[in-house]
Amino acid sequence: MTRSRLVGMALVGATSVGAALVLACGGGQSRGSSSGGDGDGFRGELTVENRSSYDICRIRLDMDGDNRIAEDVDLASGGSTTLSIADKPVRMIITECGGARTLYGHPMNFYGTAIGDSEYPPDWTESTLVLHDAGDEPEGAFDTLALNPRDISDWVFFTESDSSLSSTFHDVLTNHAQQAGWTESFEKTWAINDWNVNRNQRTGIILGRNHQGVGFARWDDGHCTMQAFGFNEGHDGSGFDGNVVFGGVSTQLPLPCAYLDGASGGGGGGASSGGGGGEAGCTNTCDSANDGDCDDGGPGSAYDVCEYGTDCGDCGPR
């Protein structure tokens, strides 16, 4: 199930002062998919050959009709695997082993616009797809796809504004998700931007305020998303009442699961809470541990001078 952006993102019920993104209440209709191909392409078992210089460990392929592949693969350079193509491809995310980069697929902003070059998979016509390095396209009776490395952090184009508020929003969001019967699992939530004051349009009296947050979720079928949500706080006439409630849903965007696997960023429960160190597979044995810079070469790292998972005080849980 997809809860997607409400076109125009118009504010419901009040005027917001200085709002950057306005959210409406309730679930939106599904966002239509777009793709680079038209017509009927190949359907069935697609052989994927990796002739690139990269090792690939995860592929997500969204298709028309809510068909989706989201799975770990063992696709080293020179190797091959198969994908079951049931319908027209509309979005593809290929992640390099180690999770530090995606190799195909583009991040989007909350208005559904590509950040950087757009990369939609075509509707392949051949039974074999060859992945290759940019500028090194092979020739033959097969379809090809040029890989384009992007840092995993490029997929998240905003920053957390208040870690304490993130924790509050995470509790509110997860409680609402449980009550609404949503099936995804929210691993962390970020507060982003600032509070926006809502006033009566005629009198100017303060009615409350709203804030934007983003929930990072993992789904049972193996794909991951991030979605914008609204959070509201009332005003009792003398001040804001401290009761933060769920305010509504907005854009849902695809997210490489490697971002969550690497526990990138802080705030808001799940994979992102805590200071790292002491969890299974995560230590502070690096010589430069706890120096303020993540040094293990993983997602979000500043340097690659330590073994992966040995600088968790700076990098977060791995």
- Count the neighbouring beta carbons within 10 Å of the beta carbon of residue 183: 10
Q: Report percent pLDDT > 90 for the chain.
A: 66
Q: pLDDT class for 283, splitting at 50, 70, 90?
A: confident
Q: Tell me the one-letter amino acid at 182.
A: W
**What does the pLDDT read at residue 39?**
55
Is the model more confident about 151 or about 304? 151
E strand segments, the chain: 15-17, 44-50, 56-63, 67-75, 80-85, 89-96, 101-104, 128-133, 143-147, 150-151, 185-199, 206-218, 224-235, 240-255
Higher-confidence position of 222 and 264: 222
Res 25: pLDDT:
33
pLDDT of residue 263: 47
* Per-residue pLDDT reduced to its tens digit, 156-202: 999 999 999 999 999 999 999 999 999 999 999 999 999 999 999 99
pLDDT value at residue 266: 41
Reported as a single tens digit per residue, the pLDDT across 258-273 is 999 984 444 455 433 3
* Per-residue model confidence (pLDDT) at position 29: 30
Residues forming beta bridges with residue 92, ordered by sequence position: 61
Measured on CA atoms in the order 170, 176, 178, 182, is the torsion positive or negative?
negative
* Beta-carbon contacts of residue 117 (< 8 Å; ≥ 6 apart): 106, 148
